[in-house]
Every structure is written in structure tokens, then in C-alpha cells.
Amino acid sequence: MMPTASGPTTRGIRSPRRGWFAAALVPALALVSAACGAAAPQTQSGGGASAGGGKLVVWDWHSGDATTKEYYAKAKSDFEAKHPGVQVEFVAQPYDQYYTLLGTAIQAGKGPDISMFNGGAQMRDRVSSLLPLDDKVGDLKDRLVGWDAFRKDSATYAVPVTLQGFPFYYNKAVYKKAGLDPETPPKTLTELQTTCAAIKKSGNACFNLGNKEGLGIEFFLSGFGPGVFSPAQYDAWLAGKRDWKSPEVKQIFDLWKKTNDEGWYNKGVNSTAMFMDQFTMFSGGKGGNVIGLISDTAHWKSFDEFLGPDLGVYKPPVSNPANVTSTFLPAEGGIGYGVMKWTKDPALAVDLVKSLASTDAEKSFFEKAGAIAADKTVDTKSVDVKAAGEIVSWLPDSKPLLHTALSAKTLDLMHRLSQQLISGDVTVDQVLTQLAASDK
Amino acid sequence: MVQPATARRSTTAVRRRHLGEHQIAALVLVTPALLIIVGLRIVPLVLGAQYSLTGDGDRNGLFVGLANYRTLLDDPVFRTAVRNVGLLFLALPVAVAVPGLLATFLFLKVPGHRFYRSVYFFPVVLSPVIIGAIFNILLSFDGPLNQLLGKAGLAPVDWLGNSHVAILSVIGVHIWATFGMALVIFMAGFSTLDQSLLDAARCDGATLPQTVWHVVIPELSRTIQFVFVTTMIGMLTGMFGLVYVMTAGGPGGATYLPEFYIWVTQGQMNSPALASAASMVLFVLMLLVGLAQIRLIKRATKEV
């Protein structure tokens, strides 16, 4: 019974081959055990809430910024005045890892009580972990705009705080150098082509573009869409009836390829990061135009800091006169806050979201961080940057962005295909066939 | 009759107690390590394998058989990632030869060998994120390398934006960043080299290549084997940071590697079960590659 002195020792020195076989057996056994019906961990199991006990945890990617410090302080004091004794903790996550971290938290069924979301695909893909808010935020409906970006199947899952839109910003100094009228930005694609030829001749890039992560195509599709699609086609796209083989969609992807081949952009766009390399180039005067944002980054305020009075802005050019006579600023809900399903006191969490969307806090977000607020009642006249005033005046005619209507999976595919189009590895027709198959 | 039997029994008893103590001591010493290996390695591995057979999204937690593996097979991005593993395999001899050659030079005490020894090791202590950021600047389209090419009258290359070049750029940077560790292992191997064998070879009039081929390589066979396996594992699992910073998997998915694919699928695409399936494929791949290498290199480095 008792092992001999030499027994375990000799058995312990196994041949390497047997050791490897043993290691190889582990996954095989695991497969068998799973095949026998072993249960997988369920997501959204709840029970991991960090709330209760008088504390709410909020995840975002902004509370660490100096420019939004006042916004968070105002939201916090507004909430704490209504709920004394309840602690609020803002956890700033790095933006480029935000959805990965949140995804992991969701898989674990643990995480914050409230999360910040971009409108569109990223939030819609995670609604199974969010509370529907329609019956709780009725009093906000009229004051705030941009709700569509935070809805799925007619239920609202987050409260908009800022708006997101894609205006065309331009540098008047670059226009002047190219012999163009700096006060008359292009209104049509033909005018834009003439403008680009002149800017290129003057030694600058016509547009600054960064497509390292494939984000350039999103800005291109949503930026040029209003000038290509007829109003009916635009609405159909947003409603999910997308015809990828239509001449208009083909026109946009053809234009993407053609503008690159014609040398509109800075060189090496597939290896240039959009954030912040592309926008740094524009701020540094190394480009005539850029499709920028109106939400929390790469917007009028950040460009104004460098370009000052040279900063101009215009709406998407009319690219398809057969379909479109005038265009609009594509804009919708930018960032918003959703309440996670596992929070222990949903009413309390919704109250904090309301404080985060309060007019006083939103006004500070607009003035200090430059994000166009989702709150209609925020007075924007205190800011004397001309571009900001123009953007605000275009908002009532806006329609949501084209790319945010797509799923994260289709967007990811579009990113990769847009890079392959620029590299010349695929044709526009192949791209459209693949996207149509993905967007079913 | 009785006495010897008692003596025998007591001797056995002493030995038994003695052995028991040894065993307990061994168990006590081994248990913490075993617990860590089982708890942090084996259990997650089994859970991952189990999870890879379940669905994502609406089918979360449901047994779906090999559906995730079929999805992987149909995914061109995953196929590119696996193809790139093949490319890593081809780059492996370079990744081993570079530190091997440099270590030989250092062993032969070329002038300034002390200085080079620390210079070669330096990149190992840098984070891949820092290395990636530095090379992003060096390799950017209007960066110093292309300016140098321009001065030589050559056309610029989009080192990180051209789908055929980008993966080679990333692999090149990875080799640059990690060869220092293999160099140290080679140096350690050289220090165990039997000097009398080298002297004997010299007396017999062997040339340097003959000495390297017939004495150094067989003597260092275990070291070479070790460096081959660890370098391959490093390439398969340690290039995430560089890919993430330098190319983000692009352009067009050309620089995807299995571990980057796993990260994107889990986090960005919100499909942890599919990511688990991909990680099981990576695990099996590494197992097979490791086994094949050990067998091949054992044969190749054996003195004939």
C-alpha cells in the first residue's frame, strides 16, 4: 500500500511526451464535459450591483478631463442635494478600451450602476443589460433632443446629454493661400472638386483623413450621405431598409475610392490615426478641410483654439443634384447615460441620470468642453465662436447619421473594406456585396 | 526467531514514518504551486473550452456544439490571423538567428562587446506600447525612414498602411524588441560550452564554420531548442501590444493575429463564446507548434 521511496520519484520523472499528451487531453476532456450539457455562465445574472448601501457607480470616459470637471461637479451636487447621504462615484475609463471593459463587466454580471454610451450600435448591441427608461424619463422628453440614437425597437435605453454631428470644417487661411474665397465654402461636389484641385496645387492636402482604425469611412458615409441620398432613401436607410446595390450607395463608395486616387487626402491615410493625428494635422494648418464632430472631441472649440477666426464650417455639399437640392447637418444623440439592469435601486439611478442631463450641467459641458448639448434650453449665445452659432442654427433640420444605424459587426467589416478599397485590394462592387450580406 | 522479526518490523516502521514525513513535506511544498496552476490555469482553460461550445447574444449559455468553430472557419479575418501565424513560423529562424549570431560575436569578444551586450538587451525592458509608438513615428509615411529612402532616390513605402508590408513591419519590430532575451539565453548557453572541445577543434585545424557546425551547435542544442520554443510562444502571444498600437489589425485586417482577434471578438464585438473558441484554437496551435519544434530541433541539432 505504502509507496516505496523510489516509486513516486521515478513516476514523477515522466517522459516529456506523456506530459504533452496529458496537457492535450485537458481541452479534449473539457469538450466532452461541455457536450454532456455542462452549463455556461449566464450573463446579466444580476447580483453584482455596486449600488445599494447608498452608493452609485458611474462609468464614463470623461470624468477625468479637466474640461468636464465642472459638468460632473454640477451634476453631482444637483443629485446630492436631492438625495443627501447617497454617494456618487465617477469612474473614468480610457475611451479606446471602454466597450471592452464594459463588455467584460456585462459578461460577469457586475459593473457600474450607470454607464455612458455613444448613440447607435454600441448601445443597441448591449440593450439586454440596460433598463428601458420610457416610463421613467417622460419629464425629459421635451427638453432634450437626440433620443433616436438611444432607442431600439421603440424602447429608450439611455438619456442623451450631447448631440453628435458631422459638419465640414475648413481652414480659411488654406483657402486664401489656394486663391479661393475664404468666405464662400463649396456648396456642391463640383465646387468641392475645384476647391480640392486648387488646394492641392497650393501644396496642402485638401482633406485631412485618418483611416488607421477604419473610422474614416464612417465620417465619409455619414458626411456625404445627405448630399447623395434623396430624403426618402435617407429615411428608408435609417428605418433599416437599406439597398446596398442602389446607385446612390455605390456613388458614395466610388467617391471614397476616387477622392483618394485623386489625391484629396494626406498621404498614408491607412496608417494615420483619426484621433488625434488627423485632427492634429487640421489644427496645425496642414489641410483645407476636415469632417469633424460636434460632440465631445474634434469639434469647433478644439479647432477654434488653434485656427481662431480662420475656422469656417459648412454643411455637406450637394453631390447628387438629381436627388438633392439642399442638404442638412447630419446629427443625432451623441453621448448619453443608461441604467444597468442589475442596479439595486433603479429609481435612484434614474435620478442621477436626470442630474447628469440637467440644464445647468449641460450648459457647462457646452461652454467648457465644447460639446453641443442635447438640451434645447441651453443658451448658446454666450459663446462667440461663429462656427458654433452656425452649427446650432442648423440643428432643427438635422437627421440622424447613416453609419450609426448599422450593427457593430457591419461597421467593423466596413472599416476593413474601406482600407482594402484604398489599398486597391477590393472593388466597390465586392465591398457592396459583402456589406449587403453582413447587414441582413 | 522473534527478535529478528521485531527488528525487521521496527525498521520498516521507521522507514514508513520517515517516508510519510517526506511525502507530507513534499505535498506541503507542492500544494501552493499546484493550487495556483489548477486554479488560475487549468480551471480557466476547461471553462474556456466549455464556453466555446455555447452561443453568444440571444443564445447565451445554450449549447451550440461546434457552431463557433464553424463560424471561425468561415471568417476570412480569422483565416488571415491563422495565415499570419504561418508567417511568424517562417520568420522564426530569423528571430533565432539574429540573437544567435550576435551572441556568437559577443562570445568571440568583438571590440566593444560589453557595450553591445547592454545595448542589445535594452529594448526588452521597454513596454510594447512605447516601442509601438516610437516605430509609429519612425515608420510613418512622412517619417524619418521614408525621408531617408527619399534621399537615396527611392519611393516612400507605407510601412504600416500597405496591407502587404504592414505585417512584415510589425514582425520586424517584434524581433527587434525581443531578441535581447534570447541573446541572454544564448550567452548563458555559451558559458556552459566545454572549452576543451573548442581547444581540441582548434588543434585539429578546424575552421571557424567547422567549429560552429560541429562543436558549438551540437553543444548548444538544448539552448537552441529552448530559444526556438520560447520565441515562437512569444510571437504567438506577445505581439498584441505592437499590433494594437502600430496597425490596429489593419489595413483591411492584414495584421490580425489570433490573440488580437480574440480581444476584438470579445470586447468590441461582444461575442465571448466565439472568442473562447478562437482561444482554444490558438491553444491547440501552440501545443502542436511546440511539439513539432521540439521534435524537429532535436533531430536537427543532433551531432552526426
Closest C-alpha to A117, from A347, A317, A335, A285: A335
Determine the residue of chain A that is closest to B285 in CA distance.
Answer: A24
**Least CB-CB distance to B158: which of A103, A125, A268?**
A268
* B269 vs A contacts (CB less than 8 Å): 408-409, 412
Interface of B with A in 236-255 (CB under 8 A): 247-248, 250-253
Within an 8 Å CB–CB cutoff, is residue B283 touching chain A? yes
Q: Do A34 and B50 touch (CB under 8 A)?
A: yes
Mean pLDDT for all residues in chain B: 88
C-alpha cell recorded at residue A303: 479647432
CA separation for the pair A236, A243 (Å, rounded): 9
Closest C-alpha to B57, from B264, B274, B258: B274
B244 within 8 A of B132, measured Cβ to Cβ: yes
Q: What is the pLDDT of residue B302?
A: 65
* B139 vs A contacts (CB less than 8 Å): 271
**Least CB-CB distance to A107: which of B19, B142, B272?**
B272
* A39 vs B contacts (CB less than 8 Å): 61
CA separation for the pair B58, B26 (Å, rounded): 49
**Least CB-CB distance to A103: which of B159, B270, B287?**
B270
* B294 vs A contacts (CB less than 8 Å): 16
Q: Do A20 and B46 touch (CB under 8 A)?
A: no
Sorting pLDDT into bands at 50, 70 and 90, what band is B19? low
Within an 8 Å CB–CB cutoff, is residue B280 touching chain A? yes
**Least CB-CB distance to A214: which of B139, B250, B266?**
B250
Q: Do A40 and B16 touch (CB under 8 A)?
A: no
Q: What is the pLDDT of residue A296?
A: 81
CA separation for the pair A159, A131 (Å, rounded): 11
* A270 vs B contacts (CB less than 8 Å): 158, 160-162, 250-251
B167 within 8 A of B254, measured Cβ to Cβ: yes
pLDDT digits (tens, 9 = 90+) for A225-247: 999 999 999 999 999 999 999 99
Indicate if the pLDDT at residue B177 is higher than 50: yes
pLDDT digits (tens, 9 = 90+) for B225-239: 889 888 988 888 889
pLDDT digits (tens, 9 = 90+) for A97-123: 898 899 888 878 888 999 999 998 889
Q: ipTM of this model?
A: 0.80
Least confident of B10-24, B208-222, B242-256: B10-24
* A23 vs B contacts (CB less than 8 Å): 287
C-alpha cell recorded at residue A152: 431600439
Distance from CA of B161 to the nearest CA of A (A): 4
Q: What is the pLDDT of residue B233?
A: 85
Q: What is the pLDDT of residue A109?
A: 81
A244 within 8 A of A436, measured Cβ to Cβ: yes
**Least CB-CB distance to A40: which of B61, B77, B166?**
B61
Indicate if the pLDDT at residue B4 is higher than 60: no
* B266 vs A contacts (CB less than 8 Å): 100, 103-104
Sorting pLDDT into bands at 50, 70 and 90, what band is A22? very low
Q: What is the pLDDT of residue B236?
A: 84
Within an 8 Å CB–CB cutoff, is residue B266 touching chain A? yes
* B291 vs A contacts (CB less than 8 Å): 20
Q: Do A23 and B287 touch (CB under 8 A)?
A: yes
Q: Do A417 and B252 touch (CB under 8 A)?
A: yes
Distance from CA of A343 to the nearest CA of B (A): 21
CA separation for the pair A270, A415 (Å, rounded): 10
pLDDT digits (tens, 9 = 90+) for A32-50: 343 333 333 333 333 334 4
Q: Which residues pair with A330 in a beta bridge?
A: A399
* Residue of A123, A127, A271, A438 to mutate, testing the B interface (most B Cβ within 10 Å of its Cβ): A271
Q: Which residues pair with B12 in a beta bridge?
A: none
- pTM of whole model > 0.95? no
CA separation for the pair A434, A376 (Å, rounded): 40
Q: Do B54 and A269 touch (CB under 8 A)?
A: no
pLDDT digits (tens, 9 = 90+) for B120-168: 998 999 999 999 999 999 999 989 999 999 999 999 999 999 999 999 9
* B293 vs A contacts (CB less than 8 Å): none
Interface of B with A in 63-122 (CB under 8 A): 63, 65, 77
Sorting pLDDT into bands at 50, 70 and 90, what band is B304? very low
Contacts 24+ apart (CB under 8 A), A182-186: A182/A310, A182/A312, A183/A312, A185/A312, A185/A313, A185/A314, A186/A314, A186/A317
Q: Do B268 and A107 touch (CB under 8 A)?
A: no
Distance from CA of A328 to the nearest CA of B (A): 31
Q: What is the pLDDT of residue A30?
A: 41
Distance from CA of B54 to the nearest CA of A (A): 7
Distance from CA of B158 to the nearest CA of A (A): 6
CA separation for the pair A161, A158 (Å, rounded): 9
* B284 vs A contacts (CB less than 8 Å): 24, 27
Q: Do A37 and B63 touch (CB under 8 A)?
A: yes
CA separation for the pair A281, B233 (Å, rounded): 39
Q: Do B267 and A40 touch (CB under 8 A)?
A: no
pLDDT digits (tens, 9 = 90+) for A277-305: 999 999 999 999 999 999 888 999 999 99
Q: What is the pLDDT of residue A27?
A: 43
* A107 vs B contacts (CB less than 8 Å): 272
Distance from CA of A29 to the nearest CA of B (A): 8
Phi-psi region of B260 (alpha: psi -120 to 50; beta: other; left: phi over 0): alpha
CA separation for the pair A435, A405 (Å, rounded): 13
